[in-house]
Amino acid sequence: MRIDEKLTEYVVEQVVRLVKTPSLAGHTDQAISYVEQELTRSGIKNRRTGRGALLATLEGREPGPHRALTAHVDTLGAMVKEVSSDGSLVFTPVGGYALGTVEGEYVTIEPGSGKPLRGTILFDEPSAHVSKKINDTKREFDNMRIRLDSEVHNEKDVARLGIAVGDYVHFDPRCEVTETGFVKTRHLDDKAGVACLLGSLKALADSGTRPRLTTHFLFSTSEEVGFGASAGIPNEVTELVAVDMGAVGKGQESDEYSVCICAKDSTGPFDYALRQRLVKLCRSKKIPFKVDIYPFYGSDAAVAVRAGLDAVTGLIGPGINASHNLERTHRKALAATVRLILAYVMGEK
């Protein structure tokens, strides 16, 4: 199936819209509703699972074992842990990230009651003209705070704004699409994967094409906290491919212009026969690809297997630079990922 510039532009547009839709783990309904609307617009039947994920199913042309692909809408963020005596907020992470990647970031605090409020994540002694600690102190959650952009002097002032322990804190995505084809923003993990699934489903729907075998598409909601695809995948599935980021960095094969096929992550090797089939599809379709190993990586594929899914698994995704940081990919990687998804869905058993 041919992937034209119009479809690539659709995928890029979906990335932009998705990263601007807040969806921390545990609070993903807005993003799931958006994906639901896109699928419905394309005429694709879908349903919510008990855990709030979204499952779309395309009937196959032939009988046989089912396949599944999954991507997750949940992202990194924070939650209010404590209100300090000076009115600043102590926060706890949602998902895993280094504090240096969020220091200085603008955030939106979503109170349980009242309107959203703005703030900034800072070291608790952030002024270079006042404190010498700013250069030498290791950043830890005990010495990081959210400075509210409201006049507050104490806990009571903060309480009057409606802010309380447990309120969600959303990082600004800082999304930008460059003239040179890069998409740079927070939360490409895994909104880029979600966008690639949406693009693939749109291509199938617009062309009236059915996959060879019945294929399920799961949009999970809690991968960043370790149990995204633990439920929701039908028992008939015997092969699962997670669509998540390819991690670009020193010592890695992955780049920002290719679809990345993971041979092994922190949980161990992926199924060899499935990996070889994915590589063969890339070669036969002339899809730019890289095979790589990610030593500090886990995905919904491993989560599903740990939860009891009796299936072989694989992992693919667009190459993304600076994972869990200010991430960046290229439209070439997005297009390559969609091409591989479609080749896989339409291809051999």
Point out the annotated binding site: 72, 189, 224, 244
Q: Annotated binding site for Zn(2+), which residues?
A: 72, 189, 224, 244
Amino acid at 44: I
| Distance between CA atoms of residues 314 and 70, nearest Å | 11
Strand-strand pairing, 168-171 and 106-110:
antiparallel
Bridge partners (DSSP) listed for residue 315: 242
| Distance between CA atoms of residues 169 and 294, nearest Å | 29
| Distance between CA atoms of residues 41 and 35, nearest Å | 10
Q: Which of 36, 223, 239, 327 is catalytic?
A: 223
- Residue owning tokens 């989560």: 303
Q: Is the dihedral of CA 309, 61, 219, 115 positive or negative?
A: negative
Tokens of 11: 């995928």
Angle between helix 188-207 and 29-41 (nearest 10): 20
| Distance between CA atoms of residues 138 and 100, nearest Å | 9
Query: Is-catalytic flag, 62?
Result: no
| Distance between CA atoms of residues 280 and 284, nearest Å | 6
Query: C-alpha 228: how far from its chain's center?
Result: 11
Active site residues: 223
